[in-house]
Amino acid sequence: MITASGPADPLGIATLASAARGAALALGAPAEVAGLAVQVLAEDALARLTVAGTAPSLDLSVDVDGTELVLVLHDRGEPVSGPPARLLALMELGFMTAVDGHVDDGRNTSVLRLGLPSHGRIVSGEGVEVLDDEVALSDAPVTIRRLLPSDGPALSRCIYRCYGWTYPGVSLYYPDRTAAAIESGRRIGEVAVTDDGEIAAHWGAVFVADGVVETGGTVTDPRFRRRGIANELGERLLARLREDGVRGRMREPVLTHSATQKIALAEGAHLVGVYLHAMVPIQQVGITDGLLETRASLTVMYSPLVPMQAATVWVPAPYEAIVRRLLAPSDWPREIGEVRGLVSVPESSVVGSSYEALNRSGLVEVFTVGNDLVDAVDIALNELKAAGADVVHVRLPAMQPGVASLGAGMPALGLSFAVFLPDFGQFGDALVLQWLRNPAVDTTGFVYASDHVREVAELVVAQALEVGEEGDRLRRRQARRQRLFAALPTETPR
């Protein structure tokens, strides 16, 4: 890691930008982008250093995380709720892989990631045949073992053999990214490997919060089906998760395929919500006829892997009915609290946000609920909208009582219910809301594993449309008022 500090003035900013540029150049990352991005961050920090008594200094760190160069700038100015708008504009142009802004340990933390040369290396389809379901079955022996960093290329080839270029988890087409994720521990998995080192089947998991994983990436080479390999991998992975102390397991089956929903439900998972328009349009081999015309929507299933501790959760009234509907079939020890009178909260909320340009999606995370909750979320939300986001998720801490009353105005921001996540890392239980650029969700291709899945999905879709249309009505009403005021006669000055 390289660290550098400098005063928050033009000379200090230029020096930090130069340091970032030099580090990027040495490592093969886009040097001019690194320098410009740090300059944008530092200038934004300088503009926020308005609080009397704050140390006018900036601290930069440069490090490598797998296939990415990570630049982190710290300042002690006025709190941030996300990356500056100018940086989001650079992100939208594809110059960076991710940006994030939040408050951490009493100081502002701005993070940007740039791809190293290995980040863009994609699997080669040369010499690899895309197999169909009619291919002859194989009785070749396989070895069942843990997924290793060295398996990155073989896993990418396995994905390509089974799906061509249509697999929705596009990161698995990049062997170096996969290897880096395994090396860091963010990704784990179980694989079946042939004698020549090719992967015949895989079942994996990615850590999405402290103690919580999302499992998936389940793939079996058609030649090795009907041998129970996938079941064995799934059982091994589940045992491993429990041994490692993982508390919760998430799955996100698509709403265009009921079979994956049924598998999750049959294995004891509970539906906790629906992410609408969550992914860019995809093609699903054997499921959809070509590329989907709209963004893909996902169900979200959750399985606790250890007994849950009893807890009271706090849910704003507009979303309470859906949360109760989700909790009803489970035996989870959750009680929805009732707000009586004023709740003591800090004056200011602590909020962070990030943006993913490839998926055109944003995330707003509320770590502390304050009196300015609606304003803080609205500011971060508008910045992500301006950056080009088609969907934004807002995570609220459902174990902070203030969220029930202070979050009641969220529908006015165009935020509808998405997901309720129990025991989700530092949030405790998290209430996830969603903003959709196009709230009119086409459900004609949706299929449901059960009546319960259908009912919840319909509730979520209906609320998304309702808050979207209400926002349109409010904007039109405001426009009409402004037109009327503009038509009023004005007194001519003498």
State the pLDDT at residue 429.
Answer: 96
Contact 99, 83 (CB under 8 A): yes
Q: Looking at per-residue confidence, does 492 or 337 come out higher?
A: 337
State the pLDDT at residue 482.
Answer: 61
- Tell me the angle at which helices 85-92 and 373-386 cross, rounded to the nearest 10 degrees: 40
Q: Indicate if the pLDDT at residue 404 is higher than 90.
A: yes
Q: Indicate if the pLDDT at residue 285 is higher than 60.
A: no
Q: Which two tokens stand for residue 375?
A: 């304003």
Q: Indicate if the pLDDT at residue 484 is higher than 70.
A: no
Q: Identify the three-state secondary structure at position 292.
A: coil
Counted residue by residue, the chain has a size of 494
Summarize pLDDT for 18-64 with one digit per residue, the tens: 999 999 999 999 999 999 999 999 999 999 887 666 558 899 999 99
Contacts of 197 (CB under 8 A, 6+ apart): 154
Q: Looking at per-residue confidence, does 93 or 124 come out higher?
A: 124
Q: What does the buried/exposed string (b/e) look like for 365-390 if buried means 16 or more CB atoms within 10 Å of the residue's CB?
A: bbbbbbebbbbbbbebbebbeebbbb
Summarize pLDDT for 202-217 with one digit per residue, the tens: 999 999 999 999 998 8
Residue 199's identity, in one-letter code, is: I
Q: Which two tokens stand for residue 66?
A: 């797998």
State the pLDDT at residue 259.
Answer: 87
Contacts of 254 (CB under 8 A, 6+ apart): 168, 260, 284, 287, 296, 297, 298, 299
Q: Which long-range contacts (CB under 8 A, 24 or more apart) does 245-248 make?
A: 245/211, 245/306, 246/211, 246/212, 246/213, 246/305, 247/211, 247/212, 247/304, 247/305, 247/306, 247/423, 248/211, 248/212, 248/213, 248/302, 248/303, 248/304, 248/305, 248/422, 248/423, 248/424
Residue 427 and residue 106: Cα distance in Å, rounded? 18
State the pLDDT at residue 93.
Answer: 76
Query: Which is it for the CA torsion 225, 167, 458, 403, positive or negative?
Result: positive
Contacts of 450 (CB under 8 A, 6+ apart): 261, 262, 265
Q: 57-65 and 2-7: which strand pairing? A: antiparallel
Contacts of 360 (CB under 8 A, 6+ apart): 280, 388, 389, 390, 391
State the pLDDT at residue 407.
Answer: 95
Contacts of 490 (CB under 8 A, 6+ apart): none
Contact 413, 295 (CB under 8 A): no
Q: Please spell the DSSP secondary structure of 318-380, one letter per residue.
A: HHHHHHHHHHTTS---EEE----S-----SS-EEEEEEETTTTEEEEEEEE--TTHHHHHHHH
State the pLDDT at residue 56.
Answer: 81
Domains and CATH numbers, the chain: 1-117 (3.30.565.10), 121-246 (3.40.630.30), 269-465 (no CATH)
Q: Rg of the chain's alpha carbons, rounded to an integer?
A: 24
State the pLDDT at residue 278.
Answer: 92
- Tell me the angle at which helices 10-27 and 31-48 cross, rounded to the nearest 10 degrees: 150
Q: Looking at per-residue confidence, does 66 or 257 come out higher?
A: 66
Nearest to 127 by CA among 203, 218, 198: 198
Q: Indicate if the pLDDT at residue 264 is higher than 60.
A: yes
Q: Which two tokens stand for residue 12?
A: 């200090």
Residue 286 and residue 280: Cα distance in Å, rounded? 19
Weakest mean pLDDT among 87-101, 121-135, 221-235, 392-406: 87-101
- pTM for the model stands at 0.87
